[in-house]
């Protein structure tokens, strides 16, 4: 039975702002709209039970190209396989989609790419607490001598064992 693995899911959410940008006045407001959009998205993520409680393991990075916005972050989870981890990350975004779109934007696409998380830090921590794994695995080989007795090394038997 597979207990699952830890995955880092590189998640990208593509938005389209409901801002036409026509006219000089509206174009001048675009930086303010972008700042408000960033603040809105951060608040929605922070208020969500999953997204606001440790699953998002990186900063929320926003890239703007006119009315198009690309939000990127790392979503970390424990799942059975890569496909399930990717699906869970996308599901979490869909759970807050209505709140995100309440600002006047539309989610156009959700991209998720999972890869196994680097857990070497956990191995080092366990080694520091419990001792190195190599020493626990390197036990002397068990062998039998000619009399059928089990001995733990190839040393000569002492007089008491003879």
How far, in whole angstroms, is CA 8 from its chain's centroid?
A: 3
For the entire predicted model, the pTM comes to 0.67
**Higher pLDDT pick, 156 / 47:** 47
Structure-token match 């996308």, residue found: 90
Residue boundaries of the structural domains of the chain? 5-119
**Higher pLDDT pick, 22 / 24:** 22
Average pLDDT over residues 63-84: 91
Question: Poorest-confidence range of 20-34, 58-72, 73-87, 143-157?
Answer: 143-157
Residue/partner pairs of 117-121 with CB below 8 Å, 24 or more apart? 117/5, 117/6, 117/7, 117/8, 117/76, 119/6
The two tokens of residue 128 are 């520091």
- On the question of pLDDT at 22 being above 70, the answer is no
Q: How is domain 5-119 classified at the CATH fold level?
A: Alpha-Beta Plaits (3.30.70)
For residue 132, name the pLDDT band (cuts at 50, 70, 90). confident
**Which neighbouring-strand residues pair with 95?**
none
């Amino acid at each position: 039975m597979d207990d699952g693995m830890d995955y880092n899911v590189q998640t990208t959410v593509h938005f389209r702002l409901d801002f036409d940008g026509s006219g000089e006045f509206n174009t001048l407001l675009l930086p303010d709209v972008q700042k408000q959009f960033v603040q809105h998205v951060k608040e929605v993520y922070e208020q969500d039970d999953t997204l606001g409680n440790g699953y998002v393991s990186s900063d929320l990075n926003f890239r703007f190209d006119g009315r198009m916005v690309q939000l990127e972050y790392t979503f970390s989870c424990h799942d059975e396989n890569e496909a399930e981890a990717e699906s869970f990350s996308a599901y979490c975004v869909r759970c807050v989609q209505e709140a995100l779109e309440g600002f006047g934007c539309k989610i156009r696409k959700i991209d998720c790419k999972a890869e196994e998380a680097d857990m070497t830090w956990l191995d080092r921590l366990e080694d520091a607490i419990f001792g190195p794994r190599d020493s626990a695995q390197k036990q002397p080989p068990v062998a039998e001598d000619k009399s059928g007795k089990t001995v733990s090394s190839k040393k000569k038997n002492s007089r008491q064992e003879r």
